[in-house]
A and B are shown apart, each in its own frame.
Chain A
Amino acid sequence: MEAFLAQVLSGLATGGIYASVALALVMIHQATHLVNFAQGEMAMFSTYIAWSLLNAGMPYWAAFFLTVAISFAGGMLIERLVIRPVEKGSVLSVVVVFIGLLVILNAVAGWIYSYTVKPFPSPFPAEPLFGAYVSSHGVGAIAVTLVVVLLLWAFFRFTPLGLAMRAAAQNPVSARLVGIRVGWMKALGWGLAAAIGAIAGMMVAPVVYLDPNMMAGILLYAFAAALLGGIDSPVGAVVGGFIVGVLENLVGTYLIGNELKLTVALVLIVGVLIVKPSGLFGSTTVERV
């Protein structure tokens, strides 16, 4: 029983990581109806910026917020300069641009910072809570993620800007007709996603260590989590993240061993999607003839 609980708790901790990256994916999808494959690398790069700031002597929270601000601006810039010119083309050409972005960020990070693993500090105390299996950082990271989800939900639900963003993504033509600057809404979406990604990266790095390939494995699980929860639901992303984290651990320990756990976990997720094609919390789109 203790072992089972330990696996579940450890799964929730990793799930928190997937949830935060999944949130960033959902964010961009809300704004642009695209899945950003470069999200992981953007988060990784932001974390390296934070690392440089910390290395230069800046205190943690100052570096944290400065990195979030820089990432926000960076995200908006990427949308305006890199994505904007190809938006009009097919979905797949945008996907290829994402791939290009992914590859560039990864290569540049490796070139500037080398591939040696670097420890990244956590703002939370080092003592474990609830016995040895849960760290304060794990709980803290989940708390931060939940705060971000709450803020996002409130933003979309209660602010005019949030409404404008949703309108711009769902029906750009009508949105323009009522005076919404669709282009800037998209850029805002990217900026927010980049900021969320930066937060995710800074929460993840203390757990998995900082290196240019840090996000590669996480992105797949985050992708699965976001889709499982429903690509248009921030709450879904977080729930999806926890489910994926716990599932991964339980499948690996009790079902099939670590060799095939990724396969089985993905098969299960795809299975859920076949039964419920828009994800657990997603809304089904009605197609008009």
Chain B
Amino acid sequence: MKARSIAIAILLVAACVLPFVVSNFRVFQFTMVLVYAIVLLGLNMLTGYNGQISLGHGAFYAIGAYTAAILMDRFGAPYWLTVPVSALVCLVAGFLFGLPALRLEKVYLALATFALGVALPQILKSKGLEHWTGGVQGIVITKPDAPFGIPLSADQWLYFFTLAVTVAMFVLAVNLLRGRIGLAMVAIRDHPLAASAMGIDIAMYKSLTFGVSAMYTGVGGALGAIAVQFVAPDSFTAFLSIAFLVGIVVGGLATIEGALFGALFIQFVPNVADQVSKAAPWAIYGIVLIAFMYLMPGGVSGVIRQAWRRKNV
């Protein structure tokens, strides 16, 4: 659709211009938006397209983040190497978790993933791994400066690096989801019996989807760790996993652009809520959440698509 291409082009141009018109602090915030967009894309693949509820994706985010931190701090690896390594580690981890988990349905899977999300900070703190993970003290990372003497601040350079990775991940997602694989995933979600009767290997697809979804989240985690320059078990609580779930629902389940809207929501709405009410900011956040679900049950994406359809009728 031509309109979609134009919208994407405008978005890309705006994204490239952004770091030059706002302060470094805002650039940092928008870098986090991109990070969350990658994460939400991954989670949406699993939960939106494939129907497997995950309440524990914070764990894969943490694995990606710690992989990056350990590589940079303990091994002195360059920052750009951490992205593919985290991707690989999380792909494997996700696949391995997905294998036994695919036997579980809906609410039972939710518990299993929630357990993962809750257990991982404990594991990170444990004495056995303390030497690598820094235990409760965490690991401090240094942000890379722009290479080859390009006149960009560290924040701006990281933003562009993250933007490049984000675009690549989105392109990959589009190819995956618009084709045969995406159809298979949706078929498994909507009618697994019919899907397997058609010859789709449900077990393989479900585990692979878990793996790919974890991979995306891990990439986000690595980039997020570099942006924040710090990892600690406290950064990856169960609440993070829940925030991701909120993000994909608010953004729009089973949509690709929903990841971006969801990312904007989870990054900025808590800050806005804090400004509205000092006494009980999370009450405001909760009210906004519920309002969103009333007004936009299909998420922001749903509303936009509906409006577009109406316009074309």
Contacts and interface: CB of A to CB of B under 8 A. Distances in A.
Chains A and B belong together in one complex: yes
Interface of A: 29, 35, 82, 85-86, 88-97, 99-104, 106-108, 110-111, 220, 223-224, 227, 231, 259-260, 262-263, 266-267, 269-270, 273-274, 277, 279, 287, 289
Interface string B230-244: 000000001000100
B63 to A, nearest CB: 15
B18 interface: no
B105 A277 contact: yes
Interface stretch (B31-39, B78-86, B152-160, B283-291): B283-291
B108 interface: yes
Given A92-B245, A96-B289, A111-B283, A223 B111 contact: yes
B44 to A, nearest CB: 11
A263 B119 CA distance: 5
Nearest to B111: A227
Contact of B283 (A93, A107, A279): A107
Interface stretch (B1-9, B122-130, B201-209, B213-221): B122-130
A111 B279 contact: yes
A104 B289 CA distance: 10
Given A96-B249, A227-B107, A274-B104, A103 B114 contact: no
A267 B281 contact: no
A35 B285 CA distance: 21
- Majority SS at the chain B contact face: helix
B280 interface: yes
A95 B245 contact: yes
Given A89-B293, A103-B283, A259 B108 contact: no
Contacts of B111: 223-224, 227, 269-270, 273
Interface residues of B, number: 46
Given A103-B285, A260-B122, A262-B119, A111 B280 contact: yes
Interface in B270-286: 279-283, 285-286
Contacts of A102: 286
A93 B249 contact: yes
Contacts of B293: 86, 89, 93-94, 96-97, 100
B245 A97 contact: no
A103 B112 contact: no
B53 interface: yes
B144 interface: no
B115 interface: yes
Nearest to B105: A277
B53 A92 contact: yes
- Majority SS at the chain A contact face: helix
Contacts of B281: 107
Q: Which of A95, A262, A267, A277 has most B Cβ within 10 Å? A: A95
B290 to A, nearest CB: 4
Contacts of A224: 111, 115
A103 to B, nearest CB: 4
Contacts of B122: 259-260, 262-263
Contacts of B53: 92
Q: Which of A35, A106, A262, A273 has most B Cβ within 10 Å? A: A273
17 contacts: A92-B53, A97-B293, A99-B245, A100-B287, A103-B285, A104-B282, A104-B286, A108-B280, A111-B280, A220-B238, A223-B111, A227-B108, A263-B115, A263-B122, A273-B112, A277-B104, A279-B108
Contact of B108 (A88, A96, A110, A273): A273
Contacts of B287: 100, 104
Given A92-B53, A96-B245, A273-B112, A110 B123 contact: no
Nearest to A104: B286
Contacts of B249: 90, 92-93, 95-96
Nearest 3 interchain pairs by C-beta:
A104-B286, A100-B289, A266-B115
Contacts of B100: 270, 274
A280 to B, nearest CB: 13
Nearest to B106: A91
A287 B297 contact: no
Given A89-B297, A103-B283, A262-B119, A277 B126 contact: no
Given A92-B248, A104-B283, A277-B104, 18 more contacts: A35-B110, A89-B297, A99-B286, A100-B286, A100-B287, A100-B293, A107-B280, A111-B280, A220-B118, A224-B115, A227-B108, A263-B122, A263-B123, A269-B111, A270-B100, A270-B104, A274-B104, A279-B108
